[in-house]
Amino acid sequence: MENNRRQNIRSKIVTRMCALGFIEENEQRVYQDCFPLKTIDLSEGGARILHDGLLKPGDKIELRTKDKLSLRRCIDCKYAMQNRSALVLEPATAIVVWTNRPYAGIRFEHLSNKNKQIIGSIVWKKHIKDVRLQRASL
């Protein structure tokens, strides 16, 4: 029997977010570069994302949906207005687990209960829809 390393249901959910790289110094976040991010699939535990090759395993990023952009440079960013995602989440922290250009895998860290509920609901709805479509085609 094959051992599944995933602990959460994962579905193909494509959405856009803004990401900020950061490091922690003296228990404070020091934000680095920001960049647009696109998920390919999503779960309560993490996501597979498209990236431009700058990410490496161990990098920490903060994900923000367009309604939660509060830093001046985020609000002024040209990508912020291009983000048409309807997904609304609280800012979430993730760590890059693997990269295989053009993709990267991220694991959520300290995901709020609200975010878990929102992501879980979206993922399960998509998963059930996909299973029904698959069964209908048999």
What's phi and psi for 75, nearest 5 deg?
-65, -35
The pLDDT of residue 64: 86
Largest Cα–Cα separation, the chain: 58
The pLDDT of residue 80: 67
The pLDDT of residue 85: 72
The pLDDT of residue 2: 47
Dihedral angle over CA of 72, 22, 25, 114, nearest 10: 80
CB atoms within 10 A of CB 14: 11
Angle at 14 between CA 79 and CA 30, to 5 degrees: 50
- For the segment 6-11, the average pLDDT, to the nearest whole number, is 84
pLDDT in tens, 80-105: 666 667 788 989 999 999 999 899 99
Q: Of the candidates 24, 47, 22, which has an alpha carbon nearest to the alpha carbon of residue 37?
A: 47
CB atoms within 10 A of CB 30: 10
* Domain architecture of the chain: domains with CATH: 16-136 (2.40.10)
The pLDDT of residue 81: 63
Q: How far is CA 2 from the centre of its chain?
A: 27
CB 12 within 8 A of CB 71: no
**pTM confidence score:** 0.85
